Structure 1
Amino acid sequence: MIHLPVLITDLGLILAAAGITTLLFKRIKQPLVLGYILAGLLVGPHIKFIPTVTDNESIHIWAEIGVIFLLFSLGLEFSFKKLVKVGGSASITAIVEVVFMLLIGFVAGLAMGWSTMDSIFLGGILSVSSTTIIIRAFEELGVKHKKFAGLVFGVLIVEDLVAILLLVLLSTLAVSQQFAGAEMLVSILKLCFFLVLWFIGGIFLVPTFLKATKKLMNDETMLVVSIALCLLMVLLAVKVGFSPALGAFIMGSILAETTQAERIEHLTKSVKDLFAAIFFVSVGMLINPSILIDYAVPILIITLATVFGKFLSSGLGALVSGQPLKTSVQTGLSLAQIGEFSFIIATLGVTLKVTSDFLYPIAVAVSAITTFTTPYLIKFSEPFYMFLERRLPKKWVEGINRYSSSTAGITTLSDWKTLLKSYTFNLIIHSVILIAIVFLGSRYLQPFITKNLINGNNGIVISLIMTLFIMTPFLWALAIRRIEKKAYSHLWLNKKYTRGPLVALEVLRIGLAIFFVGILIYQFYSTWISIVIAIALIVSCMFIFSRRLQGFYNKLESRFLLNLNAREAQNAPPEILPWDTHLVELSVAPESTLVGKTLVDLSVREKYGVNIALIQRGKIMIPTPGRNERLYPNDKVLVIGTDDQLAAIKELFEGSIDENMQSSFPKEDMSLQKIVINSSSPVYGQTIRNSGIREMTQGLVVGIERNGNRILNPDSTLIFENGDIVWIVGNNKKVPDLLK
């Protein structure tokens, strides 16, 4: 008789149960994740009236693979470039929310009599919202074009990175079983070091490899290569002491910056869906229904803590970051749930055997309840804001509006700030690279050469010379390379106050370069005389061959930037004005009544109060289009207006708002900005029409705040006065010139 392995039987049972519950949950329009968890509960060991899984160990291995592909997929959607473009509002909101929810979870756990470790993991579970659930809810409710959605997506991007940090910190804490501040700091520094190193190395190598092999890559080969790259980074992450999930996430974020990102995401989606389904089913298998009954009260308490805690912390964070009350309320209610990262954190506690058996099913139950409540909370957010506005003291509402208005817009960067920012980036990036080269040279290159090629002192000398040769371009960039020449020259001309600090900065740079050289040589020789001689020779060579080193380094930098910018920059969440106006992209459907009409014929500003800031027609960009410009099928139009105005004009575009918030529409140079007019401003005393703002900044004046009064869509004959706060949608590189 033919014997069928137990693993295949169990896998068939899991997928059959998952398939049935998937169809059921599709029918009732609920998240599939909950269906998978229900399937796991049914085939798990706690329900006996249907066949159950018997080889739990193998299923857990498959579930680990599911976590890897789930994090790989999240990394493909993450992108470090998106994180840089997120902006201060989303970053502040996310940080405030995470810190508050960590504290709320920890305090709630202790109040219920749980152990310290259970309480810490509960805080971690509650601190991260669900990207999948929020995106699905936004799509179903049709609110992705509203301004608070951009802020929510930015918060989710920051939360993804925070969740990765939490995985590392909780792993360290679970292993050490003590709150060692020094150990935690080392873990954070180690994580930051490898994040920077992997990102720099990955962006330099992976896109280059994909470009070189592009002609050989059919879909099958691309799928195999993508999964191989993912698993190689997983192996590397485990090798240096991190979790497999971190490695998968990092490789996904690296591939997200390549021109093949969409293709890779499409090809790996089926693989991710399969293994992620097994992971979520394994989540359900760990749920004991009797525990849910016994812990019904804690589940209710934690659910309420999640909803109210996230609403208050996210709303407070949004207010602190300068958002209006309406946006803050909508953001807080949108983020009031937990999801996939919470499962992974809970799984970590079970795997490391540091949390109690009841914590995992409680987390799943809370996630299920908050998943159901999320769409209703989002729908309820605007009426709740209107209720708050009526109930809150008028002075409070006015104070929030003034604070929001004062914190919005652009600020001028001083030369010192610009210079210090560039010097800091230069120091961090090249220090990480040099430390990595020193480590690889002393730990791997030197032993390999002395054992396999040349023994004794000659092998050590050759290893040292090769390592120094590799380090030299980066030593030059750290110590000698001229950064922000314009800001530096401005500061240097101020002899009295700035030359001293500038000289100190240059001495610090050279000192760091010498320090890294000394550290390297000390790994090979312990004689200080030889170290001093070698450092003197290296420094001399750096100055003598400075021009050649500059040329070589410029080639490396150009290659890196070419790879980094190969994929068109993703849409950044727009800055939000105190009038509730924001930028959104609309597409002109071929059957739209707008096709063929000029902007003056459409009169969208007069009829709807919106402004058209930019038109993309294929690869052609038309910033601040003229009144005689016509709209054609499939034009992508960048429009500024309020939520209500955009909802009204959306019908003209026949509901063709781009549902992909992260489309490749290159509008990063267009943004809403604020300038303050004074008596020395070039436009002072001139009308809007005669000021040349349209010509100088490719911009439109969309609002003026004068003596506390707001004028939306001002007439072109209005004259600029001293103290006017002027809001412009235009080229963010040209608008600051108006401040000069």
Structure 2
Amino acid sequence: MFALNAAAETTHHLQPLISDLGLILMTAGIAVLLFKKMKQPLVLGYLIAGFLAGNHFDFFPSITDMKSVEVWAEIGVIFLLFSLGLEFSFKKLMKVGGTSSITAITQILFMTLIGYCVGQWMGWGKMDSIFLGATLSISSTTIIIRAFDELGVKGKKFVGIVFGALIVEDIVAILMLVLLSTIAVSDQVSGTELLQSVLKLIFFLIIWFLGGIFIIPTILKKAKHLLTDEMLLIISLALCLMMVIFAANVGFSPALGAFIMGSIIAETTQAEKIEHLIQPVKDLFGAVFFVSVGMLINPETLVTYALPVAIITLLTIFGKAFSSSIGALLSGQPLKQSVQTGMSLAQIGEFSFIIATLGMTLKVTSDFLYPIIVAVSAITTFTTPFLIKYSESFAQFLEQKMPKKWAKNINRYSVNAQAIKSVSTWQIVLRSSITQIILHTIIITAIILLSSKFVAPLVEDTRFGNTLAALITLVIIAPFLWALSLRRVKVEEVESLWEERKYRGALLMLILIRMSLGLFFVGFLLNIFFSPLIAFIALIIAIAAYQIFPKKLNDQYHKIESHFLKNLNDRENKKLDRRYANLMPWDGHMSIFDIGKESNLAGKTLEELKIRELLGINIAYIRRGEVTIPIPSKNERLFPGDEISVIGTDAQIAEFTKYLTQNENEARKIEESEIVLRQLEISQEEFTQKSIGQFRGKTGGMVVGIERNGNRILNPESSLLLQPNDIIWVVGDRKKIADLIRANR
């Protein structure tokens, strides 16, 4: 009888959860069919379907338990952010240029501030205003990618800036989740608490990333021959949920853990396969999340707050377009690309929902904020494709209408900003030293804290337990202590600085700081396990040991570092997920194509094809299997399967794409290249009054553009003479170009 009652009770508890999931999926299925037919974004369909299936309409089937919907929504957030992490990767963040970073940060700061001010102006509470500013500052990756696909603009230069800005916004959104949680719990904006939260987040992000990259790719590679698709899917989801648990246990949101694990797996060689396997799970729980979001909207609230919805929608469209455009201009982009970038980012989406959900879950925001944010997102989802479509026309209109002096100043600022690329030798050394200090300090601190928490309690009552525990911990951190205090960084740069007397004091100070930190950590560790006197004696012994075995420590550290870097770069070595180059101050940029097996171009020389003469396109390199032909001559032939890197403007790339299609070109693939496009200012006397052809013969680099006295020359003739202070754009071997730039400083 007891078993029957327990079974009945279990069924009673499961029934609403299962029936509500069934209703969510049914409404999602109907939304998919209808909105696919209407060629509208599916996210919008999910929101509207959830809105109609909520408890607010009697003529539709409704959910029975709101708590079960919140559970499904939370699960949806976890898997949605896990999939976003798979597309993110921290290496992409490191590669984001200054243009995208400045654009994103300018827009985020502006929208957060203006959102807070508008909330206060409308009489909202402090927390409502803070959360409003945060939700308005993050654009929607999903909506933008869908709009780019539909409009066919992915080959244009501004798209690279937009993608870079979205990467920066993603990581800032994660930071916001932590900061907003801190503010919500303390109910006040405390500078000390916010700083502690940021430092705590940075500490755990670095530890999770370093540890994850060191361990997870190795496990996946070792078990590769054992892994079926089913096992790989299960292991990936297990890793995701494991990191969710870790994040929750240290006080972060579960969504953060899912995002971090996704970004770690994104660096493995299995990333594409895992992303493919996760796609159905992402689609399923993404639909669950967005439908659940729609179910939580109260129509009465929307009617009551129709005016705030209209105000915030206009603020989102115009505010984000304006601030993003200004950010792009500040970074040195021309007016056209800046306006296109700004109008592409003028919407809010999935991260805004997550931030609004956080406020609702923590019960610090009013009931009206959530539906307002969803309504604004729905409206801006509709407007985004139109803004992107007409952004180029609007930029041309703006350029014609603004005073010519303004246009000229913007153009001059763009040229000058692009020309400021040099980094001093001292900055290089300082940056490398600070990076060494921060990374190794965090690693050593984490190991010592883990030892004090888990090892010290086990041995505190044993006779030699403390000695053994301290010794084991010291051995583990020894390579990192050596790297922190004694490892030489940027040897050539340091030697060149040492020759200048003014830098010697600063270099000695850096060495002293690093050695002092090393001594501090050894003393700190020993003090955990021993009394101060014994710790001091042990410190002397430890220092002597470090002096006796420097080569062993050096070798051990380099093994660890090599293993980490191999794991980090494995995926990139096979296939770098790089879509568009973003390297020139005008529309010119790099794109990469494959020559199809049936292409009519195969077998012909570049001289016969006359691609540059007909289309204005320059070929940077031809890759044929394992062989790369940099800056090919006119006698070089194209063969089936060749990969070619071409340089041209948006219009030229579009024409070249049509040209290849007409000649039965296959789908484009994009991979890592040692041939790069770089900017260089002519200052060396050996290049002045030399022709373009002579420059190419001496450096092996092809000049594709010149900036002279504010005028731009694309595809200059080989007979053109170089003048002092010319800014040129050169295509060539990465290392040779880097050496040329250093020599020209």
Classify the TM-score, shorter chain.
over 0.9
Instruction: Tell which deviates more after alignment, 401-410 or 560-569.
Output: 401-410
Partner of 1:342: 352
- Deviation, 1:506, is 0.9
Instruction: Tell which deviates more after alignment, 74-83 or 705-714.
Output: 705-714
**Does structure 1 residue 479 correspond to structure 2 residue 485?**
yes
Distance in structure 1 (CA, Å) of the matches to 2:45 and 2:591? 34
For 1:577, what is the secondary structure of its paired residue? coil
**Does structure 1 residue 670 correspond to structure 2 residue 693?**
no
Distance in structure 1 (CA, Å) of the matches to 2:685 and 2:542? 51
**Does structure 1 residue 463 correspond to structure 2 residue 466?**
no
Distance in structure 2 (CA, Å) of the matches to 1:588 and 1:108? 54
**Does structure 1 residue 653 correspond to structure 2 residue 656?**
no
The one-letter code matched in structure 2 to 1:535 is: L
- Deviation, 1:103, is 0.6
The one-letter code matched in structure 2 to 1:490 is: S
Q: Does the 8 Å CA contact 1:589/1:654 hold for their aligned counterparts? A: no
For 1:327, what is the secondary structure of its paired residue? helix
**Does structure 1 residue 624 correspond to structure 2 residue 631?**
yes
- Deviation, 1:634, is 4.1
Partner of 1:538: 542
Distance in structure 1 (CA, Å) of the matches to 2:495 and 2:697? 31
Distance in structure 2 (CA, Å) of the matches to 1:124 and 1:192? 20
Q: Does the 8 Å CA contact 2:35/2:42 hold for their aligned counterparts? A: yes
The one-letter code matched in structure 2 to 1:503 is: L
Partner of 2:733: 731
**Paired residue for 2:556, among 541, 552, 556?**
552
Q: Are the structure 2 counterparts of residues 681 and 196 from structure 1 closer, same or farther at C-alpha, using a change threshold of 3 Å?
A: farther
- Deviation, 1:279, is 1.1
Partner of 2:98: 88
Q: Does the 8 Å CA contact 2:579/2:670 hold for their aligned counterparts? A: no
**Paired residue for 1:329, among 322, 339, 343?**
339
**Does structure 1 residue 582 correspond to structure 2 residue 597?**
no
Distance in structure 2 (CA, Å) of the matches to 1:463 and 1:202? 25
For 1:616, what is the secondary structure of its paired residue? strand
- Deviation, 1:591, is 4.4
Q: Structure 1 stretches of 5 or more lacking a match?
A: none
Distance in structure 2 (CA, Å) of the matches to 1:441 and 1:483? 29
Partner of 2:607: 600
Distance in structure 2 (CA, Å) of the matches to 1:360 and 1:255? 32
- Deviation, 1:174, is 0.6
Give 1:293-312 correspondences, 5 Å limit.
Answer: 293-312=303-322
**Does structure 1 residue 430 correspond to structure 2 residue 434?**
no
Q: Does the 8 Å CA contact 2:140/2:347 hold for their aligned counterparts? A: yes
Distance in structure 2 (CA, Å) of the matches to 1:651 and 1:463? 68
Q: Does the 8 Å CA contact 1:44/1:52 hold for their aligned counterparts? A: yes
- Deviation, 1:102, is 0.3
Partner of 1:205: 215
Distance in structure 2 (CA, Å) of the matches to 1:506 and 1:70? 45
Distance in structure 2 (CA, Å) of the matches to 1:705 and 1:35? 49
**Paired residue for 1:720, among 707, 719, 722?**
722
CA deviation vs aligned residue, 1:558-581 (integer Å, no higher than 9, x gap): 100100000023327523433321
**Does structure 1 residue 510 correspond to structure 2 residue 515?**
yes
For 2:677, what is the secondary structure of its paired residue? strand
Partner of 2:115: 105
Distance in structure 1 (CA, Å) of the matches to 2:665 and 2:578? 14
CA deviation vs aligned residue, 1:518-549 (integer Å, no higher than 9, x gap): 2222323352x333222222221111100001
Distance in structure 1 (CA, Å) of the matches to 2:385 and 2:339? 15
Distance in structure 2 (CA, Å) of the matches to 1:637 and 1:331? 28
- Deviation, 1:664, is 5.1
Q: Are the structure 2 counterparts of residues 315 and 11 from structure 1 closer, same or farther at C-alpha, using a change threshold of 3 Å?
A: same
For 2:117, what is the secondary structure of its paired residue? helix
For 1:683, what is the secondary structure of its paired residue? coil
**Does structure 1 residue 233 correspond to structure 2 residue 235?**
no
For 1:626, what is the secondary structure of its paired residue? coil
CA deviation vs aligned residue, 1:329-368 (integer Å, no higher than 9, x gap): 0000000000000010011011001100010000000000
For 1:584, what is the secondary structure of its paired residue? strand
Give 1:362-441 correspondences, 5 Å limit.
Answer: 362-409=372-419, 411-441=421-451
Q: Does the 8 Å CA contact 1:585/1:657 hold for their aligned counterparts? A: no
- Deviation, 1:505, is 1.2
Instruction: Tell which deviates more after alignment, 512-521 or 5-14.
Output: 5-14
The one-letter code matched in structure 1 to 2:263 is: S
**Does structure 1 residue 643 correspond to structure 2 residue 650?**
yes
**Paired residue for 1:181, among 182, 191, 206?**
191
TM-score where L is the length of structure 1: 0.95
Distance in structure 2 (CA, Å) of the matches to 1:54 and 1:468? 58
For 2:367, what is the secondary structure of its paired residue? coil
The one-letter code matched in structure 1 to 2:486 is: I
For 1:726, what is the secondary structure of its paired residue? strand
Q: Structure 2 stretches of 5 or more lacking a match?
A: none
For 2:635, what is the secondary structure of its paired residue? coil
CA deviation vs aligned residue, 1:661-703 (integer Å, no higher than 9, x gap): xx65113x4333222223x443233222223x36634x31011
Instruction: Tell which deviates more after alignment, 30-39 or 431-440.
Output: 30-39
**Does structure 1 residue 276 correspond to structure 2 residue 286?**
yes
The one-letter code matched in structure 2 to 1:262 is: E
TM-score where L is the length of structure 2: 0.95
The one-letter code matched in structure 1 to 2:519 is: I
- Deviation, 1:44, is 1.1
The one-letter code matched in structure 1 to 2:470 is: L
- Deviation, 1:61, is 1.4
**Paired residue for 2:706, among 700, 704, 707?**
704
Distance in structure 2 (CA, Å) of the matches to 1:659 and 1:442? 56
For 2:21, what is the secondary structure of its paired residue? helix
Distance in structure 1 (CA, Å) of the matches to 2:143 and 2:598? 33
The one-letter code matched in structure 1 to 2:292 is: S
The one-letter code matched in structure 2 to 1:517 is: V
Q: Are the structure 2 counterparts of residues 420 and 482 from structure 1 closer, same or farther at C-alpha, using a change threshold of 3 Å?
A: same
- Deviation, 1:294, is 1.0
CA deviation vs aligned residue, 1:55-76 (integer Å, no higher than 9, x gap): 2222321221111100000000
**Does structure 1 residue 352 correspond to structure 2 residue 332?**
no
The one-letter code matched in structure 1 to 2:73 is: A
**Paired residue for 1:492, among 495, 498, 509?**
498
The one-letter code matched in structure 1 to 2:705 is: G
**Does structure 1 residue 7 correspond to structure 2 residue 44?**
no
Q: Are the structure 2 counterparts of residues 194 and 658 from structure 1 closer, same or farther at C-alpha, using a change threshold of 3 Å?
A: farther
Instruction: Tell which deviates more after alignment, 295-304 or 465-474.
Output: 465-474
Give 1:22-41 correspondences, 5 Å limit.
Answer: 22-41=32-51
**Paired residue for 1:21, among 7, 26, 31?**
31
Q: Are the structure 2 counterparts of residues 421 and 658 from structure 1 closer, same or farther at C-alpha, using a change threshold of 3 Å?
A: farther
Count of matched residue positions in the alignment of Structure 1 and Structure 2: 728
CA deviation vs aligned residue, 1:117-166 (integer Å, no higher than 9, x gap): 00000011100000011011011101000000011000001111000000
Q: Are the structure 2 counterparts of residues 738 and 465 from structure 1 closer, same or farther at C-alpha, using a change threshold of 3 Å?
A: closer
Distance in structure 1 (CA, Å) of the matches to 2:734 and 2:407? 30
Q: Does the 8 Å CA contact 1:410/1:674 hold for their aligned counterparts? A: no
User: What percentage of aligned pairs have identical amino acids?
Assistant: 56
- Deviation, 1:293, is 1.0
Distance in structure 2 (CA, Å) of the matches to 1:223 and 1:708? 55
Distance in structure 1 (CA, Å) of the matches to 2:96 and 2:351? 20
The one-letter code matched in structure 2 to 1:361 is: P
Partner of 2:694: 690
Q: Does the 8 Å CA contact 1:682/1:738 hold for their aligned counterparts? A: no
For 2:388, what is the secondary structure of its paired residue? helix
Q: Does the 8 Å CA contact 2:41/2:143 hold for their aligned counterparts? A: yes
Q: Does the 8 Å CA contact 1:76/1:253 hold for their aligned counterparts? A: yes
Q: Does the 8 Å CA contact 1:401/1:578 hold for their aligned counterparts? A: no
CA deviation vs aligned residue, 1:604-625 (integer Å, no higher than 9, x gap): 1111112111223344332222
Instruction: Tell which deviates more after alignment, 549-558 or 270-279.
Output: 270-279
**Does structure 1 residue 157 correspond to structure 2 residue 159?**
no
The one-letter code matched in structure 2 to 1:387 is: F
For 2:64, what is the secondary structure of its paired residue? coil
The one-letter code matched in structure 1 to 2:655 is: A
- Deviation, 1:458, is 2.2
